[in-house]
Homo-oligomer: A and B are copies of this chain.
Amino acid sequence: DISQDIDHILETQSALAVDLGGTNLRVAIVSMTGKIVKKYTQANPKTFEERIALILKMCKEALSDAVCLNCRILGVGVSTGGRVNPQEGVVLHSTKLIQEWSSIDIRTPLSDALHLPVWVDNDGNCAALAEKKFGHGKGVENFVTIITGTGIGGGIIQHNELVHGSTFCAAELGHIMVSLDGPECMCGSRGCIEAYASGMALQREAKRLHDEDVLKVDGITDMKNNEPVSAVHLINAARLGNSKADAVLQTAGMALGVGIVNILHMVNPSLVILSGVLASHYQSPVQQVIEQRALPSARSIRVLTSDLEEPALMGAASMVLDYTTRRLY
C-alpha cells in the first residue's frame, strides 16, 4: 500500500560496520551521513569459533534492529587488526593481539549467513578511509593516520587511495621500530612503536610501577580495590607529578614521534592525523619530536587529532557506503 511505499522511500541507506580490535568487538549501524544509529559492544572472544559466532549473532541482532529503525543495510564492512587481503576478504595474519586470526576468510561466512555483500580491511586502513570520507582527510591527496588503541594501527593515503603494498603489509605503522632492542612487541620483534606507545604498552608500564609500589602519588593511588591497573592510572599519576610515570609517557611520546618522523622521511604526507583514546596526549610530544628530528623539508607537516568518535568503525562503514558511488577494489 501507499504508506508502505513512502516508508520504504524514507528508509536511510546504511551500513553494518564491524570492528575487531585487541580488546573489543563492536558492531554498528552507520547511516550514509556518518551517523552511528546504534552500536553494540562485546569483549572480543579469544577463539576463532566463538569470535565468528559472536560476530554473526551481533550482526543478526543489528539487522533486526535496523528494520525497526528504518535503516536499509546495503552491506557489511569489517575492520580488523592484522594484515588483510581486501580483494579476497581474508585476514592473512594477526599478531598475538588477536589470537587464532590468521588465514581466515571472513567474507564467506558473513555473506552466506547475512545475504549481504561484505568488505574487509585492516583497522588502520579503515581509520584512514574514515578520515578521508568524514574527517580531517577530506580532500587531502596524501595523508597518514595513526590510531592508538590496545595496539597501534595506521593507514596511508597516497594520490587519494589507500596504499596496500605488494603483500597487503603496507601501513603497518604500529610495527615501525625505533630501537635496535627496546621492549618486546606482540609481533615477535622489539622496539616497535606499539611496544612503547599503545594502550597495552602503557598498561604494562603502569603495572610495573604499581608492582614496584611507585605508581601512587603522595602515598595515594586513585585505584579502587581490585581495579585493574591501566594506562589511565599512569596518565593521572604523571599529571599529579609522579616523575616515573611521567618518564614512561615521555618515552612513549618520543617513540611515537620518532616513528612518525620515519613516516615523513619515507612517504612525506602533507598531514598526519592521530586518533584513538591517547591521541590528544600525543599531539604535542609528536610535534616537538618533528621540530627536533625531522629534516627541514618535512617539518611543515600538519599534525591533527581526529574528531571522529570511532574511526575504524566509520571506515568499515565507508567501504560499504562508497561502493554505491564507485568501485573500491
A residues 206-238 in Cβ contact with B at 8 Å: none
A270 at the interface (CB under 8 A from B): yes
On chain B, the residues within 8 Å of A167 by CB distance are 268, 270, 297-298, 300
Interface size on A, residues (CB 8 A): 52
A204 at the interface (CB under 8 A from B): no
Interchain CB contact under 8 A, B255 and A180:
yes
With A83-B297, A189-B292, A297-B169 known to touch, is A177 a contact of B261 (CB < 8 Å)? yes
A320 at the interface (CB under 8 A from B): no
Contact residue among B95, B189, B258, B300 (Cβ-Cβ distance under 8 Å from A180): B258
> What string of 1s and 0s marks CB contacts (under 8 Å) between A45-84 and chain B?
0000000000000000000000000000000000000010
Could you tell me the distance between the alpha carbons of A258 and B191 in the complex, rounded to whole angstroms? 10
Interchain CB contact under 8 A, A264 and B177:
no
Contact residue among B191, B266, B292, B300 (Cβ-Cβ distance under 8 Å from A266): B266
On chain B, the residues within 8 Å of A189 by CB distance are 261, 292-294
With A169-B265, A264-B169 known to touch, is A93 a contact of B178 (CB < 8 Å)? no
On chain B, the residues within 8 Å of A297 by CB distance are 83, 92-93, 167-169
Contact residue among B156, B177, B254, B294 (Cβ-Cβ distance under 8 Å from A258): B177
Contact residue among B158, B177, B190, B265 (Cβ-Cβ distance under 8 Å from A175): B265
On chain B, the residues within 8 Å of A251 by CB distance are 180
On chain B, the residues within 8 Å of A172 by CB distance are 265-266, 268, 295, 298
Could you tell me the distance between the alpha carbons of A296 and B165 in the complex, rounded to whole angstroms? 14
On chain B, the residues within 8 Å of A187 by CB distance are 295
A276 at the interface (CB under 8 A from B): no
A142 at the interface (CB under 8 A from B): yes
With A163-B267, A165-B268 known to touch, is A295 a contact of B170 (CB < 8 Å)? no
Interchain CB contact under 8 A, B166 and A268:
yes
A residues 312-327 in Cβ contact with B at 8 Å: none
Could you tell me the distance between the alpha carbons of A136 and B156 in the complex, rounded to whole angstroms? 27
Can you name 19 A-B residue pairings with CB atoms under 8 Å?
A93-B297, A141-B166, A156-B267, A158-B158, A163-B267, A166-B270, A167-B268, A167-B300, A169-B268, A170-B266, A172-B265, A176-B265, A176-B266, A177-B262, A178-B179, A180-B251, A190-B293, A191-B258, A267-B267
